[in-house]
Amino acid sequence: MPTPLNTPRCPLCRGERADLFFEDQRRRYLRCRHCRLVFVPRCYRPGPEVEKAVYDLHQNDAGDPGYRRFLSRLARPLAKRLKPGQKGLDFGCGPGPTLSVLLEEQGHEVDLYDPFYCNDPSVFDRTYDFICATEVVEHLHAPGREFEALFRMLAPNGWLGMMTKLVIDRHAFAKWHYIRDVTHVCFYSRATFAYLARRFDARLHMIADDVILLRKAAGDTA
């Protein structure tokens, strides 16, 4: 068994016990024993200037049929579960918001938030029927705090929809393109999302290997 590491704390559950999961020439990757999040220590996290430079390279365009098809893998199953005319948030919408367009085409109203491209902190004082985070949660430096905020903003029975690639095992991780992106600092597995469901009293729906829905419990005001 890998040598347990008492520091740093897990950025998701604040657990104090993590093992070395993998190491390459650039970074070390630790896995929390409690929530099973794989994460990089703080010293490997990029600063905001580096993050912004990487994100500026993204060619996201709401008119791109391929990008629309990709995001529809979340938009479609989420829209099937929403009542008509609901209010949502595209959290981490990026430089070319598109998921919001897909859901607005279905008759929903969608606010935008992104710390680099649409930094509107007033969204955190609102309540939403659904929140989407596509290719976002792997970038979060403090995911525990961010998930607390998202569930606090969700109305009872509200939906949190996410897209992110999942950790399978060490062998696959070593060859995984996902870890080559320096802005990817947290890596989730099915066990991690099961932990989140327990923590926030939500129901987990694994729509696909990289499409995840969490439904907040009725009457929950966390």
Cβ atoms of 123 and 110 closer than 8 Å: no
The pTM (predicted TM-score) of the whole model is: 0.93
Q: Looking at beta carbons, which pairs linking 56-60 to residues 24 or more positions away fall under 8 Å? A: 56/95, 58/94, 58/95, 58/96, 59/96, 60/94, 60/95, 60/96, 60/97, 60/98
CB within 8 Å of 189: residues ≥ 6 apart: 36, 38, 166, 167, 168
Q: pLDDT tens digits for the chain (222 residues)?
A: 444 444 689 999 999 999 999 999 999 999 999 999 999 999 999 999 999 999 988 777 777 889 899 999 999 999 999 999 999 999 999 988 999 999 999 999 999 999 999 999 999 999 999 999 999 999 999 999 999 999 999 999 999 999 999 999 999 999 999 999 999 999 999 999 999 999 999 999 999 999 999 999 997 545
Predicted local confidence at residue 77, as pLDDT: 97
State the pLDDT at residue 7.
65
In eight-state DSSP terms, residue 125 is G
Cis peptide before 8 (omega within 30 of 0): yes
CA–CA distances in Å: residue 36 to residues 13, 32, 166, 188:
9, 5, 11, 8
Distance CA 13, CA 32 (A): 9
Per-residue pLDDT, 219: 72
Predicted local distance difference test score (pLDDT) of residue 1? 41
